[in-house]
Amino acid sequence: MGIEFNKETYRGDYTFTNSPTAIKRFPFPFDKDSYMYAVNMEPHTPVREGSVYYNSFDVDEHYVSEMADRAMVLDEDPLRCQSLPHMELAGWDLLELIMAAKAKDYPDLFKLTCDGDKWHWVNKPLGIDETFTFMDASTLPYGPMEYITRQTQGDFCLLDQREENLWMDAGMITTQADWSLDFDIGMNFFEWHAPVPLAHEKGIFIRALKFLLNIQQGAPARRLNWTMTVNPLLDTSPENYHKWGIQKTTLTPENVGSKQYLRVELQSFFRLPRSNGMVFPIRCYLIKLEDLVTYPKWARRFHRVIRDLPVELATYKGFIDNRPMILDYLAQFDDGAETSPGVWPED
Amino acid sequence: MPKTKFEPSIISRPVYGELKPKNGKSHLLIADVEGAQAILDLAKKAPTGFFNQAHIIYIPRHTGETYLAKLQKLNAKQHYVGPSFGAAQQRIQRVLSDAHNGLQIYLAGSEGLIGQAMREAIGLGFPHQAIQTEHRGSKARRMQCVHCKGVTEDVSTDPFECSHCGLSLFVRDHYSRRLAAFQGVCVDAEDPGNVPDKMEIT
């Protein structure tokens, strides 16, 4: 497979960059020239080898640097990773799910050997070689959820299922689009989504919850969500908003192409076998406008989506003030030509 | 004083009802400030003997002695008047952890009191849907600063200054039962120093 891992930063000098391969496999979220909320779920099954949809937990060139950034966030604020006491079993479920999937999908990078409850885990990119007892948290340096999610790209919401609802009772949240695990932990599906505009009225969350409650073991689902971020900043947390919010004002017509990023979340949903809980990984992909517009189809379509997005959504997604500048930049790549259906750049 | 009316808001924002006597083996009534009137109104509808099995915990704060004599006349089996929620907290925890099946819980007064008492009850396994609440008095809120995590009590303006870190925060309707607090978020992060005029929370 041979992934070459970038040495790059998501803060300070922002040396994050996407290779041509990473640009081509970017999960562009718009399959047509307009956008409105939809439940838009599909089975999380392999699509197109090499795409971000091919493996259960996509590992890409950003893996090592992204994990280093997570470790820094956790050093600064340990509350970004929390688990209510009844969630440890779900944490073991998650650890098993990820270790088994990564060892199967990336045998040159990860190796898992199980001899009864004596497990041996090798993570070559991060230089980890661990022997531990499955279901005995005292044999790991962290709780099971924290241990494995310090080694897996994306945020993780670990959900308990009861009273016909899903409860955000644990999580590892360091790359979030402006929501706080520390505040939302313990909330049910409707409560933690309460601040999202328009979608409640459309019945989106009622339908989404119904879908999620019925997800079966071995049949995960996925969807995409998106927002906009200035600079390749993973940690756009509300906790640090008073520090990063100002960066939104640094856009100029000259730098918008290189500083404005489209931020896409690949959200997936897995049933967990022992706890009957769910895990909801939220994997963040970033691409600067300059790289996005290298594919003419994406450039045309993205211009139209941003131009026609309702004001409420542009406000909620936090780029209403910068929208005119972003549109001026994108307009030069939109000649009005028709775009082909679907998300793939060259179809 | 009439019950408080709130504008419709987002789903995480608590909604309050009107206290009604329910059948139960015992009754725990916790109130602060004008919430005393909600207990007095409930008493008018309560069956004979209701207060023989009742425990009232009341925190008058700025209302001083306004309601004390009237509450006393209800002749509750246990009657406690304290200076603050913090002072009453351990007593509340003890009563809740000693509770048997059939305890009914009634909370009335400020959002801060209702939220904090609710949190104690939920923490001991009482389902929040089974707890009655009635809001009375000021619409001041208990706010958590999302940045420093400090809680500021009795916030009556939007924006307000965090009493811990000093940032100017805007008042969200997003509410955490676990923290018994609304969320406050920096109001001038994208334009430092440009803090809007304070408005009374309505």
Same domain membership, residue B125 and residue B47: yes
Pairwise CB contact (< 8 Å): A238 & B185 = yes
Written as one string, the DSSP assignment of A315-328 is HHTT-TTTHHHHHH
Confidence (pTM): 0.93
Contact between chains at A180 and B10 (C-beta distance less than 8 A): no
Domain that holds residue B165: 141-200
Of B63, B54, B16, B18, the residue nearest B36 (C-alpha)? B63
Tell me how far apart the alpha carbons of residues A166 and A13 are, in angstroms, rounded to a whole number. 39
In a domain, B21, yes or no: no
Are both B167 and B184 inside the same structural domain?
A: yes
pLDDT 10s per residue in chain A (347 long)? 589 999 999 999 999 999 999 999 999 999 999 998 777 899 999 999 999 999 999 999 999 999 999 999 999 999 999 999 999 999 999 999 999 999 999 999 999 999 999 999 999 999 999 999 999 999 999 999 999 999 999 999 999 999 999 999 999 999 987 799 999 999 999 999 998 877 788 888 999 999 999 999 999 999 999 999 999 999 999 999 999 999 999 999 999 999 999 999 999 999 999 999 999 999 999 999 999 999 999 999 999 999 999 999 999 899 999 999 999 999 999 999 999 999 999 98
> Look-up: residue for tokens 């006393």?
B72
Q: Is A239 on the interface with B (CB under 8 A)?
A: yes
B186, A191: Cβ pair inside 8 Å?
Answer: no
Q: Which of B78, B107, B135 is the last residue of a domain?
A: B135
Kindly state whether residues B76 and B119 are assigned to the same domain. Answer: yes
CB contact under 8 A, A248 and B190: yes
**B178, B189, B191 ranked by CB distance to A186: nearest:** B178
Q: How much is the pLDDT for B112?
A: 97
Residues 3-62 of B with CB under 8 A from A: 10-13
Q: Answer yes or no: do B152 and B127 share one domain.
A: no
Q: A328 - beta bridge partners?
A: none
User: How many domains is chain B partitioned into structurally?
Assistant: 2
User: Long-range CB contacts (< 8 A, 24+ apart) of B22-26?
Assistant: B22/B104, B22/B132, B23/B104, B24/B53, B24/B102, B24/B103, B24/B104, B25/B53, B25/B100, B25/B101, B25/B102, B25/B103, B26/B53, B26/B54, B26/B55, B26/B99, B26/B100, B26/B102, B26/B103, B26/B104
Rounded-to-integer distance, Cα B141 and Cα B134, Å: 15
Is residue B16 domain-resident? no
Q: How far apart are the first and last CA of chain A?
A: 24
Please report which helix (H) or strand (E) contains residue A279, including its range. strand A278-288
Contact B12 A187 (CB under 8 A): yes
Indicate the Cα dihedral angle A334, A340, A345, A346, nearest 10°: -110
Interface of A with B in 87-126 (CB under 8 A): none
Say whether residue B186 is in contact with chain A using an 8 A CB cutoff. Answer: yes
Q: Counting Cβ atoms within 10 Å, is residue A340 exposed (0-12), middle (13-18) or buried (19+)?
A: exposed
- Predicted confidence (pLDDT) at residue B198 exceeds the cutoff of 70: yes
Is the residue at A15 inside a domain? Answer: no
Count: domains in chain A: 1
Q: Are residues B73 and B124 in the same domain?
A: yes
Does A342 fall in a domain? no
The answer to whether residues B117 and B172 belong to one domain is no
Minimum distance, in Å, between the CA of residue A297 and any CA atom of chain B: 33
Residue A128 in any domain: the answer is yes
The CA distance from A107 to A86, in Å, is 33
The pLDDT assigned to B2 comes to 62
Q: What is the largest CA-CA distance in chain A?
A: 62
Which one of B167, B190, B194 makes the best mutation probe of the A interface by having the most chain A beta carbons within 10 Å? B190
Same domain, B39 and B129: yes
* Same domain, residue pair B77 and B149: no
Instruction: Please judge whether A180 and B12 are an interchain contact, meaning their C-beta atoms are less than 8 angstroms apart.
Output: no
> Residue A14 in contact with residue A230, Cβ under 8 Å?
no
Whether residue A199 lies within 8 A of chain B, CB to CB, comes out as no
Q: Among B81, B14, B87, B21, which Cα is nearest to B50's?
A: B21
Q: What is the extent of the structural domain holding A238?
A: 20-331
Same domain, B121 and B154: no
A4 is a domain residue: no
Query: Quick check: is B1 in a domain?
Result: no
The nearest alpha carbon in chain B to A248 belongs to B190
Dihedral pair phi/psi, residue B81, rounded to 5°: -120, 125
B-chain residue closest to A84, CA distance: B178
In a domain, B10, yes or no: no
For the stretch B69-100, pLDDT in tens is: 999 999 999 999 999 999 999 999 999 999 88
In a domain? residue A12? no
